[in-house]
Chains A and B, each alone.
Chain A
Amino acid sequence: MFEIEIRTKKGFKNSHGEHVLSDISGIGIKGITEVEYFPLYVIDGGITSAEVGTIALELLSDKITETYICRYKEQSVGKSLKTESSAGIDVSETAACADSAILPHSAFFVIEVWYKKGVTDTVSESVIKAVKDLGIEKEIKVKTGHKYYLYGKVSQAVLNDIATKLLANTLVQEYVAQ
């Protein structure tokens, strides 16, 4: 199973992150100084890391403004929410990173948001179709998620507040905040 994180290259605005930052201060939470947002894709199936690279580069990212990080994970997509610590973005040996210069700076929190099992994920449906159109004729499963890096200092309770009040609708989504 591969997890692909699409990152904004240095020098380009992370505009969704900026929106989230203004929303955070809008609900009266102080202590967060910067937010970066990156979409996540989990792809499972008999797929090679070379193919994942093609998918990330040709399909999921914008070559001019974005780059990607790709991690190999043992878990399968069936396990709906990752419980392991993925916050430590200490990119492991199995991870391939297109541009190491864009790794986030220190002192941050990570909130990941995923759809709950059974909720229709239309973006993943489109990805599955588009992967076939790329010429990769394999049966794959795809899950999409959102990853937010928050810089600053807040308590875990406040972090959970940010997650539930702004980033995840717990009716259809679940989240990990740490």
Chain B
Amino acid sequence: MKCITDCKIIEILNLSDEQLIELSRKNVLSLSLEEMKTVQNYFKKLKRNPTDVEIETLAQTWSEHCKHKTLTGIIEYTEEKNSKKTRRIYNNLLKETIFKAAVELNKKWCLSVFKDNAGVIEFDSENGIAFKVETHNHPSALEPYGGSATGIGGVIRDILGVGLGAKPLANTDVFCFGDPDTEYSKVPEGMHHPKRIAKGVVSGVRDYGNRMGIPTVNGTVCFDDGYMANPLVYCGTMGIIPKDKIEKKVNSGDLILVVGGRAGRDGIHGATFSSVQLDQESDVSAVQIGNPIIEKKVLDTLIKARDLNLYRSVTDCGAGGLSSAVGELGKKTGAVVYLDRVPLKYDGLCPWEIWISEAQERMVFAVPPENKEKIVEIFERENVEAVFIGEFTADGKLTLIYEGDVVTNIDMEFLHNGVPKPTRPALCKIKEEKIQKPVEMSSSEISEALKASLSDLNVCSKEWIVRQYDHEVQGQTVIKPFQGNNVEVSGPGDAAIIFPYTVVRGTKKGIVLSNGINPQYGKINTYKMAASAIEEALRNAVAVGADIEKMSLLDNFCWGNPDEPEILGSLVRAANACYDMSKSFDVPFISGKDSLHNEYSIGGKKYSIPPALLISAMGVIENAANTFTMPLKNDGDKVFVLGTTRNELGGSVLAKIKNIKYGIVPDVHPQESKDIMKRIYRAASENLIEACHDCSEGGLVVAISEMAFAAGKGVKIDIDAVKTGKIKSQETELTAAEILFSESNGRFVVEVKPGNEARFGEILEDAVFAEIGCVNSDKGIVFESEKNKIKIQEAPEVLLNYWRSTINW
């Protein structure tokens, strides 16, 4: 291969181990020594040194971001419990847990699982629905606005790039930030203040989502000091796709068409960068800037071209740019690309920069030669740039040509399957959780704790954030983020429902979207955190009327440095929880993503984030009219609690407020809670439910207060009537405070009309449930326990005010 000016030959054949490491570090390749040696050996066989384009292509393709080396690599896992050790080897953690459950459950309505840019399930006989959630943590830490905007832009393109392209119907967003009230002097040097990050991230998502004309319908915001230097930004998109457009393929001879934005220096090394710990000198060019107007035009034209069957395959240009997109499409055939044909924002880009640029808003198509003119015409009509840059071959090689010179010529097989599997040790020491000392609180202390819980950052209204998003555009959102009497009086909805009547004419069906996440539990027990997140996501969906038998899940792991055995060990535990819960709830995972290395070092000290697993759920509801919201509806209606309340205050809001030591983290009892979920659905189809709310952060007292103040109504609750259960046999009975604030999973608060009470009881039959009070606006919100001599009485508008005033930036 001859050397030309713009393309360098990288001396690698004769480098020592130290020099290889140095080369990887210096060029931000993020390749380990073993990987560098594998590259070295490959080029030794070819008897030549690689070009910089080849090295960069390998680094991108083998990056943690694209290959998920940790979760698909070998893990030697050791679990220590009561000083007994058990060992297990995972050859591919993902395949042996989350994916395995999906395979074993083998649902016929799962149309595309873990193989495309998003998971797809059946909507009706003609259509499928696709869902994907991505993270954009590192870019958002550096440039909150651009980072989050390109995060949402990227996941929308995932939906455009699933099968032959799905039409996006809704976005979801979940964030984890540091405490916004942190003193400025305590923010690490070189980092933005958590409030600035939060505001920037919110406006990025707002501007991109709103300009794309896609409603943002569901999300959560968690606050914890652990995310100060490393925020988590999860962006999700759901879309609809005709069933006959789900399969894609590439034939030799198909032309490679790149559509949308131009390549620039933005986002160079995004994929490899995501595996690097953040430090003060993070690379400037890793920042990406989004342009929603271009993406909107790409969306519209892509759907038009799809419906005319003008292409055989499509994928998005995400991390790794063209390198990843073309590499992915041409995996089985081979490809030749002329880099000088790629449209550029400005001159002066080297060939390797053109190839890996992460400039946004680009899609890559495989176009049969006979459609060449027709497809370009569609894009040009809307002023969308579309340029043919090469073709798919039959030689199984990736060939890149720049101004007549071959700058890359490597085997697709080596590029995609040559990465050595790393072996990492993982360790988990399981500590027994202890029940705290009985929490005895007087009536006034409980009142204070209720107000503190409602205004706690993790419970309080996120209205200031959510109302910046358009959740109505497209006119199909039937259950929205806030519910209540009017804008001034509202409460937090559990899940969103989209009724896609403009896309699927005559349909009655709805699509439910919900999520579950709780990093507080993960600080103590990641197994229970994962199980709780899954149960919470499902519970949220059921609380608006979803059918548990038509639900699917997405996993998004955000973890610290997997080179630390204990951090990786806690990840293995969470992945196992995913398998167990998926199997016992009979709900498959359809897609997922992980972001590891969420670690930040400053002054030699390392900050690893508290592990976070976001579970997003999507399901099909047979009749979008049979759904319900959380505010109480009519005076005189009965209030029920479904599910068992246990002494589970570990990681709870009350534990934080009252600084309670110990406490059991809420566990999941799948059989019990699945049974209740099924019965709620049955009651819903008979229209027996007036209001329903899930019970999570803050416990029963918060859930019931939210239902009351969202309606501006009062409610009278008998604490003694709540059904409790024991975790350990020698346990004492729960105190009133423990009943009110325990965060046990699997519980719902349901409002039923007096006339429907008998039928509702028949449906619930032998499930754990109790009538605990009634809607009564005379005396405000009242919680009473005769046994414990407790009475709390608050006006709904007072509690509403506590809930609403925390975040008002």
Interface of A toward B, CB cutoff 8 Å: 22, 26-28, 116, 118-122, 125-126, 165-166, 169, 171-172
Cβ < 8 Å to A, chain B residues 254-269: 264-266
Please, could you name 19 A-B residue pairs with CB atoms under 8 Å apart, sorted by A? A118-B265, A120-B266, A120-B289, A120-B291, A120-B359, A121-B289, A122-B289, A122-B290, A122-B291, A125-B291, A165-B193, A165-B196, A166-B196, A169-B143, A169-B144, A171-B142, A171-B287, A172-B146, A172-B289
Q: Do B289 and A119 touch across chains, with their CB atoms under 8 A apart?
A: yes
Assembly CA distance A88 to B195 (angstroms): 33
Q: Do B284 and A28 touch across chains, with their CB atoms under 8 A apart?
A: no
Which chain B residues lie closer than 8 Å to A126 at the CB level?
293
Query: B345 interface residue, CB < 8 Å from A?
Result: yes
Name the distance in Å between B82's Cβ and chain A's nearest Cβ: 50
Name the distance in Å between A124's Cβ and chain B's nearest Cβ: 11
Assembly CA distance A170 to B73 (angstroms): 38
Which chain A residues lie closer than 8 Å to B359 at the CB level?
120
Assembly CA distance A28 to B187 (angstroms): 14
Q: Do A28 and B184 touch across chains, with their CB atoms under 8 A apart?
A: yes
Assembly CA distance A125 to B346 (angstroms): 13
Q: Which residue of A lies closest to B383 (CB)?
A: A129
Query: Across chains A and B, which 8 residue pairs bring their CB atoms closest together, nearest first?
Result: A120-B289, A122-B291, A120-B266, A172-B287, A171-B142, A169-B143, A27-B184, A172-B143
Which chain A residues lie closer than 8 Å to B345 at the CB level?
120
Q: Which residue of A lies closest to B185 (CB)?
A: A28
Q: Do A171 and B193 touch across chains, with their CB atoms under 8 A apart?
A: no
Count contacts on B: residues with CB < 8 A to the other chain: 23
Name the distance in Å between B237's Cβ and chain A's nearest Cβ: 20
Assembly CA distance A81 to B143 (angstroms): 20
Which chain A residues lie closer than 8 Å to B192 at the CB level?
169
Name the distance in Å between B636's Cβ and chain A's nearest Cβ: 45
Which chain B residues lie closer than 8 Å to A27 at the CB level?
184, 193
Which among A122, A125, A126, A172 has the highest number of chain B CB atoms within 10 Å? A122
Name the distance in Å between B470's Cβ and chain A's nearest Cβ: 19
Q: Do B284 and A171 touch across chains, with their CB atoms under 8 A apart?
A: yes
Name the distance in Å between A118's Cβ and chain B's nearest Cβ: 6
Given A165-B184, A171-B143, decide whether A119 and B195 contact each other with a Cβ distance below 8 A.
Answer: no
Interface string of B131-147 (1 = CB under 8 A from A): 00000000000111110
Name the distance in Å between B741's Cβ and chain A's nearest Cβ: 31
Mostly, the A contact residues are loop
Q: Do B287 and A119 touch across chains, with their CB atoms under 8 A apart?
A: yes
Q: Which of B144, B196, B264 is close to A120, meaning CB atoms less than 8 Å apart? A: B264
Which chain B residues lie closer than 8 Å to A171 at the CB level?
142-143, 284, 287
Assembly CA distance A166 to B284 (angstroms): 19
Q: Which residue of B lies closest to A126 (CB)?
A: B293
Cβ < 8 Å to A, chain B residues 266-295: 266, 284, 287, 289-291, 293
Q: Which residue of A lies closest to B285 (CB)?
A: A118
Interface string of B345-366 (1 = CB under 8 A from A): 1100000000000010000000
Which chain B residues lie closer than 8 Å to A121 at the CB level?
289
Which among A26, A120, A165, A171 has the highest number of chain B CB atoms within 10 Å? A120
Interface string of B172-201 (1 = CB under 8 A from A): 000000000000100000001101100000
Q: Which residue of B lies closest to A161 (CB)?
A: B184
Q: Do A172 and B284 touch across chains, with their CB atoms under 8 A apart?
A: yes
Assembly CA distance A165 to B184 (angstroms): 9
Q: Which of A28, A119, A165, A169 is close to B266, meaning CB atoms less than 8 Å apart? A: A119
Q: Which residue of A lies closest to B149 (CB)?
A: A122
Which among B144, B196, B265 has the highest number of chain A CB atoms within 10 Å? B196
Assembly CA distance A118 to B263 (angstroms): 12
Which chain A residues lie closer than 8 Å to B195 at the CB level?
26
Assembly CA distance A118 to B291 (angstroms): 15
Which chain A residues lie closer than 8 Å to B193 at the CB level?
27, 165
Which chain A residues lie closer than 8 Å to B287 at the CB level?
119, 171-172
Assembly CA distance A171 to B147 (angstroms): 12
Assembly CA distance A119 to B143 (angstroms): 12
Q: Which residue of B lies closest to A166 (CB)?
A: B196
Q: Which residue of B lies closest to A22 (CB)?
A: B809
Name the distance in Å between A76's Cβ and chain B's nearest Cβ: 16
Name the distance in Å between A121's Cβ and chain B's nearest Cβ: 8
Name the distance in Å between B550's Cβ and chain A's nearest Cβ: 40
Name the distance in Å between B453's Cβ and chain A's nearest Cβ: 25
Assembly CA distance A118 to B286 (angstroms): 12
Assembly CA distance A164 to B320 (angstroms): 31
Cβ < 8 Å to A, chain B residues 312-368: 345-346, 359
Which chain B residues lie closer than 8 Å to A165 at the CB level?
184, 193, 196
Q: Which residue of B lies closest to A173 (CB)?
A: B143
Q: Which residue of B lies closest to A164 (CB)?
A: B192
Q: Which residue of B lies closest to A115 (CB)?
A: B289
Assembly CA distance A27 to B196 (angstroms): 10
Which chain A residues lie closer than 8 Å to B265 at the CB level?
118
Assembly CA distance A125 to B291 (angstroms): 10
Cβ < 8 Å to A, chain B residues 755-774: none
Assembly CA distance A122 to B291 (angstroms): 6
Assembly CA distance A122 to B145 (angstroms): 13
Which chain A residues lie closer than 8 Å to B143 at the CB level?
169, 171-172
Which chain A residues lie closer than 8 Å to B293 at the CB level?
122, 126
Assembly CA distance A22 to B809 (angstroms): 8
Assembly CA distance A119 to B264 (angstroms): 9
Assembly CA distance A26 to B145 (angstroms): 20
Which chain A residues lie closer than 8 Å to B196 at the CB level?
165-166
Which chain B residues lie closer than 8 Å to A26 at the CB level?
195, 809
Name the distance in Å between A55's Cβ and chain B's nearest Cβ: 19
User: 5 other contacts beyond A119-B266, A171-B287, A172-B287, with CB at 8 A cut-off?
Assistant: A118-B265, A119-B287, A120-B345, A125-B291, A169-B142
Assembly CA distance A121 to B145 (angstroms): 13
Name the distance in Å between B773's Cβ and chain A's nearest Cβ: 41
Name the distance in Å between B278's Cβ and chain A's nearest Cβ: 12
Which chain A residues lie closer than 8 Å to B290 at the CB level?
122
Q: Which residue of B lies closest to A129 (CB)?
A: B383
Q: Which residue of A lies closest to B287 (CB)?
A: A172
Assembly CA distance A94 to B264 (angstroms): 36
Which chain A residues lie closer than 8 Å to B142 at the CB level?
169, 171
Interface string of B99-143 (1 = CB under 8 A from A): 000000000000000000000000000000000000000000011
Assembly CA distance A169 to B287 (angstroms): 11
Name the distance in Å between B190's Cβ and chain A's nearest Cβ: 10
Which chain B residues lie closer than 8 Å to A122 at the CB level?
289-291, 293
